[in-house]
Chain A
Amino acid sequence: MIQTVVYIALICVAVAMITLLYRVIKGPTLPDRIVALDALGVNIVAMVALVCIALDTNAFLEVILLFGILAFIGTVAFSKYLEKGVIIENDRNS
């Protein structure tokens, strides 16, 4: 039962990722694309968890935490670039 449901959920998440990819390609502004990419990172985390259940192994569970951290750092860097034009400010006095 669990295997069937996991495959159904994998298909659902894959369809969600394809629709998000449409927004990444088409999105009229840059923030649109970044919102869609952030949601894609979250979907990848879900997909890794589902693949772990489908393959019946606990070898990839570390990848969940890793992808969560990397997606968050990427989003923060992109939004800082959008807001200020730089990601790391070298001028400490401003």
Chain B
Amino acid sequence: MIEIAKLIIVAFILIGAFFHLIAALGVIRLPDVYTRNHAASKAATLGVLCILLGTFLYFYFIHDHFNSRVLLGILFMFLTAPVAGHLLGRAAYHSGVKMWGQNGPDDYKEYIEIKKSEKYQEYEAYRKKIEENIKAESK
């Protein structure tokens, strides 16, 4: 029983270390911020989740010590790492970092320009007015 648990722990730790190496390699090798962010935020998150799970199982099976903080850490990393990656990519786009080898239309830029245009502002104002009218009538 304990030998099987040790094998599982070892497998989790090795998989986690492997994913850390893959993430670092991606950050070195990939050509622009967005692809690097993709590599760092996904592979490194999976790696740290595997290593933390291995740590939790180690203390649970070998020392018979249920550590809830490690479980909380796993949950927290799983929730916050994609959010941090999203914020970084968004900030990079808005601070004007160019994409590598872009062939094709930039849909997000079009969307921003449409939102800034005068016609869209007029449409928004018109829509707000209609909504207020509906509210006033329902009262």
Q: Give me the interface of A with B, judged by CB distance under 8 Å.
A: 1-2, 5-6, 8-9, 12-13, 15-17, 19-20, 22-23, 29-32, 34-36, 38-39, 42-43, 45-46, 49-50, 52-53, 58, 61-62, 64-65, 68-69, 71-72, 75-76, 78-80, 82-83
Complex Cα spacing A50 to B54, Å: 9
Number of interface residues of B (CB under 8 A): 53
Structural contact, B44 and A42, CB atoms closer than 8 A: yes
A36 to B14 CA separation, bound complex (whole angstroms): 22
Listed A/B pairs (16) with beta-carbon separation below 8 Å: A1-B6, A9-B16, A9-B17, A15-B21, A16-B24, A19-B24, A31-B37, A34-B88, A35-B37, A45-B73, A45-B77, A46-B16, A46-B17, A50-B51, A53-B13, A75-B87
> Which of chain B's residues have a CB closer than 8 A to the CB of A23?
27-28, 36
CB of A9 within 8 A of CB of B14, answer yes
Residues of A within 8 A of B9 (CB): 2
Supposing A16-B20, A64-B70, A83-B94 touch, asked if A42 and B77 sit within 8 A by C-beta, the answer is yes
With both beta carbons as reference points, the residue of chain A lying nearest to B63 in the complex is identified as A58
A22 to B27, CA, bound (A): 10
The answer to whether B27 and A46 touch across the interface, beta carbons within 8 angstroms, is: no
Q: Which residue of B lies closest to A74 (CB)?
A: B84
Q: Which residues of B contact A12 (CB under 8 A)?
A: 17-18, 20-21
A35 CA to B28 CA, complexed, in Å:
11
Interface Cβ pair total, 8 Å cutoff: 163
Q: From the candidates A5, A49, A76, A78, name the one contacting B10 in the complex (CB within 8 A).
A: A5
Q: How far is the CA of A35 from the CA of B34 in the complex (A)?
A: 9
Roughly how many angstroms separate A9 CA and B15 CA in the complex, as a whole number?
9
In the complex, chain A residues whose CB is within 8 Å of the CB of B28: 19, 22-23
Q: Given the complex of chains A and B, what is the CA–CA distance between A48 and B77 in angstroms?
A: 14
User: Which residues of B have CB within 8 Å of A45?
Assistant: 48, 52, 73, 77
